[in-house]
Structure 1
Amino acid sequence: QPNAMGGREAGGLSHLLPGYRSVTNPGHRAELETFWQLPTGSISSNPGLTAWEMITGLETGNLGMLWVAATNPAVSMPDIERTKAALRQSPFTVYQECYYPTEMADYAHVLLPTTQWSEKTGVMTNSERRVTLCPQFRVAPGEARSDWEIFAEVGRRLGYRKQFAFNYAAEVYAEFVRLTRDRPCDQSGLSHTYLREMGATQWPFSSKAEPTQQKVEKAKRLYTDLKFHTPDGRARFSLVYSRGLAEPPDDNYPFVLTTGRLYGHWHT
């Protein structure tokens, strides 16, 4: 996946906040409210909806708006006919995407053109925690804008001008790495400038490290010291119980299809 690791670090799931924090943790919410200068209690303690809960929310009429960015749920979601029927029920859908036309575009009320990786500057983290700067090297076409620019403008128009006063992608990243300080994914020593000059770098990469400790070429394995990111420092294990397939094979449908993953084609 292009940046699944980095997305989780930045809080890109419905129950997460930046720096591997959780919305259900009162201390984590308080840290972010202080950092962003928000009134106490501004961040909800309830996780947001999952992708499938959004579909069922459209079915029940409990979801008044859908904002889709950088994906194509009209192709990728399970039970695709049910998904398409739910998308048709959406009162208002914004689709933010760098490709057009797509299947999802047919269900959108508003289309927002965005830039793709070569047309914007950003940072990605791979599965071994290696952070890479991806610099822009092409001019963005037409009215296309970076995703962060679109989100920041909406934030400012909602009244959060101070919180979204970004002018460059490097400023967005600078805020993010500050939020990782002393967290499991500490990247507080990184910046666009450092990554441009020194190349891809593994985290943890703290701003507290000595200059001689900063650049480590050899891959670092975590937890060899047997200290884990839990209150008592001990590892925690959870039991997992198999519930089987939601739709097991039967006489009418005896086959199970798994598509696998290819380097150049992943999800949508």
Structure 2
Amino acid sequence: MNLSFFKAGPFFLLAGPCVIENEEMALRIAEQIVAITQKWNIPYVFKGSYRKANRSRVDSFTGIGDEKALKILQKVGKTFGIPTVTDIHEAHEAALAAEYVDVLQIPAFLCRQTDLLIAAAKTGKVVNIKKGQFLSAEAMRFAAQKITDSGNENVLLTERGTTFGYGDLVVDFRSIPAMQQFGFPVVMDVTHSLQQPNQSSGVTGGQPRLIETIAKAAIAVGADGLFIETHPDPLHAKSDGANMLPLSQLESLLSKLVRIRQAL
């Protein structure tokens, strides 16, 4: 897989549950999104974390087991003939995850971790680097360069909001054209940019009512792709339910976004 995949439609979509909860749910979510994206000619990558390493509390759900979750991601890809993406957190995870998925994602907090970026690059997979909440868009040039200097030109860069005070994020849409200047596709992480982290309860909050607003603005600004976490029942999701899009609302949103892109 290379970057040509991401240029075949009005924009591309990375979407799925925050974390792999079980096989049945992963397949059900993927089946519905595949049907929607095929209808609207949107290149689609199924997203699911095989393990959540960055949680607020030690008793938070982290996953069903690494190999079990990775095999589910592999099954989703083979069942529907679509690429898949998952997060990695340490350098030694890159080779393992690369056996099962097509895109390796670098979490925002880890975007400066040189060993992690180099390990991901050396797998030959597409590497999606999320911009740190603490970084300017211009600084992401150096994260991308770590991948390309390792012999891998297949880089995606993702905007996911910037820290605004202690418990909120704000989206600076200038980041999208700024990062596009580096020559790589730029993704807007719609749902994570609406998180309200570091809440006193130890559970991350969110503003899902603004998902459509952020997505529309990103497409209008010219984002190449969107990242959206979605779930049939966000209130009962095991991770990040506070800022996920109900799966039943996805097609309505995408249809509006396609029309915006066509108008441009």
TM-score by length of 2: 0.34
TM-score by length of 1: 0.33
Point out which structure has higher relative CO (alpha carbons under 8 A, 6+ apart): 2
Q: Give the structure with the higher percent helix.
A: 2
Q: Give the structure with the higher percent strand.
A: 2
